[in-house]
Structure 1
Amino acid sequence: MPIAPSPSRVVLVAVLVVLLGSCAGPGNAPAAAPSLAPPASPAASAAASTVPPVAPSTPARPGTFPIPAGATIVVDPGHNGRNGPGSGIDRPVPDGRGGTKPCNTTGASSAEGYPEHAFTWAVSQDLAQRLRARGYRVVLARDSDDGVGPCVDVRGEAGARAHAAAVISVHADGGPTSGHGFHVLYSSPPLNPAQRGPARALADAAVTAMRGAGFTPATYIGRGGLDARGDIAGLNLASVPSVLVECANLRNPADAALARSPQGQQRLAEALAAAVG
């Protein structure tokens, strides 16, 4: 039969339990199981404690090319009022693809003689005012409609000189009289990172804005309002996102009437301004 423990042995066991429990206190806790992850370095720990939280950015309006307020946008009114014979605009300049182009041209005109340079100046002035009202810094590629040039290579470099986020070049076409509508040109094949993706995104945004304002994509050139081009020196030489918008066909009577009317010019300027956000 089992032997009952004596009272003295029970007391001794109790004392040992108490002593062992005190040895396993906070200062003598058992070691934790080793972690498989390497310990963080002191530098990494310090950096983690000083990294500020990332502030959420304001999302761009859907369908627009995102440009934050305060950024610079170059608005390029095509041609100029004194481009013509004897002005030197026929001299060759680099085209951005190893060839040359004339410095500039006189531009298109309607059957009644309304000139492209006057149209582009009017729309660009309105466009610049709208963009400035939204907080953008706007640089015009020419400062009047009574001069010559600048040449297309100089216009192509205007965005980089101004440290611009984008360039919008305003034009009107001289296509077949039966054709009407707008088209947006961008450089293709691309020659630099700005042309590789951002320029196409800006072109898409311009098409979306023009269509949203009720304007019809060109029926005689391009596809769905887009026109990928390799022969436009100002686009080839651009190192920031750049597009050239042929807003209307001045050889088409209905387009010409729209282009020369103040209401039409305001609608076009409003549409182009809506392309960026």
Structure 2
Amino acid sequence: MSYTGPEFDPPQQRRPRRGPLTVALAALVPGALLGWLVYEEVGGGGSGAEVRTASPAPASSASPLSSAPGTASSAASPGASPDASPGDDGKVSGTPSARPGGTGPLKGKVVVIDPGHNPGNFRHTAEINRQVDIGTNRKECDTTGTSTNDGYTEARFSLDVAHRLRTLLEQQGATVKLTRDGDSPAWGPCVDERARIGNTARADAAVSIHADGSAPGNRGFHVILPGSVHAGAADTRPIVGPSHDLGVRIAGNFLRETGEPPSNYLGEGTGLVTRTDLGGLNLSTVPKVFIECGNMRDSKDAALLTSGAWRQQAAQGISEGIVSFLRRS
């Protein structure tokens, strides 16, 4: 999801590699964020969460994927095909529907996963450019999303991670619903409908999965939290607190599982950003966050985002954050 310019920009020239001093300073950021997130979760930031321990962030001199726990593969191969791992985004016909959970610790909990954008949006420009009410103003129904310079689209990435995440949550007993799945619907849904799906399901948690389209050299993940909005059809005041808790837990676990650093261009190193201009958050009546898993236009992030093994780690980190949130709520 891009923040400036067209939603699907042409490939850009890559920046020269950063010098050793910049790399050394950047290595300090994940550790600082992880400590801050633990502080938040034990109550220092007012979240009131139970005490949990977290593993140190991987050092920059080692592969962030070489020792990340909880994955099917011990290392992601950046050069691997995006479809190299099982659980990728094969098309599934039919209207997205809730899949009942099992008998695990999350039995009775409902999670809505919102894979950003849709591959069909490129062929339905009139439909996705239609303006919809997001409470504070009107915006496009949806956008095309971004892609890596080699053409791996955000829509394809987000659905693959959503499938992996659904499997992990169902193994914990949760009932999981996707806002889109495979080739259904043909485009969209619109951002207001994406929020409505979570509201109608009375989700205990909702997560929208994205990857950013910022400039090369900008890298890292960030979790987008809803700001306080009370305008028109939007009233986020009841969900701001629980959404913050959900976002903090996802950010901490995502960092630990993937080794991906927090964004170096948004969030001031916290990995957390608050926004009031996103219909998917403004119109939600259930705890909801967005996660931008990395920047598709940065070569280092793109190498991770196109790796099936790394996407499994991403799903694991998001899942652990959701499970942590649901087990205390």
TM-score above 0.5: yes
Task: Name the counterpart of 1:13.
Answer: none
- Counterpart of 1:210 (choices 254, 257, 271) is 254
**C-alpha separation in 2, matches of 1:125 and 1:61:** 30
- Alignment map for 1:184-195 (pairs within 5 Å): 184-190=223-229, 191-195=235-239
Alpha-carbon offset, residue 203 of structure 1: 0.9
**C-alpha separation in 2, matches of 1:63 and 1:149:** 39
- Alignment map for 1:218-237 (pairs within 5 Å): 218-223=263-268, 224-237=270-283
Change (3 A) 1:61 1:129: farther
Q: 5+ residue gaps in structure 1?
A: 1-58
**C-alpha separation in 2, matches of 1:69 and 1:96:** 33
Task: Name the counterpart of 2:161.
Answer: 123
Checking the alignment, whether the CA contact within 8 Å between 1:63 and 1:208 is kept in structure 2 is: no
Calculate the aligned-residue CA RMSD, in Å.
2.0
**C-alpha separation in 2, matches of 1:69 and 1:173:** 33
| 1:90 lines up with 2:129 in the alignment | yes
TM-superposition CA deviations, 1:183-219 (whole Å, max 9, x none): 0001112433432310111111111111222221011
Task: Name the counterpart of 1:62.
Answer: 52
Task: Name the counterpart of 1:48.
Answer: none
TM-score of the pair, normalised by structure 1? 0.74
Q: Does the residue aligned with 1:163 lie in a helix, a strand or coil?
A: coil
Checking the alignment, whether the CA contact within 8 Å between 2:205 and 2:322 is kept in structure 1 is: no
Q: Which range moved further: 99-108 or 155-164?
A: 155-164
TM-score of the pair, normalised by structure 2? 0.62
TM-superposition CA deviations, 1:117-167 (whole Å, max 9, x none): 000010000000000001000000112146200000101122111111010
Change (3 A) 1:60 1:160: farther
**C-alpha separation in 2, matches of 1:270 and 1:194:** 28
Alignment length (residue pairs): 216
- Counterpart of 1:261 (choices 307, 310, 321) is 307
Query: Which one scores higher on RCO, CA 8 angstroms, separation ≥ 6?
Result: 2
- Alignment map for 1:39-54 (pairs within 5 Å): none
- Alignment map for 1:38-187 (pairs within 5 Å): 62=52, 68-87=106-125, 88-97=127-136, 99-145=137-183, 147-187=186-226
**Letter paired with 1:220:** Y
Alpha-carbon offset, residue 85 of structure 1: 4.8
Q: Which has the higher Rg, Structure 1 or Structure 2?
A: 1
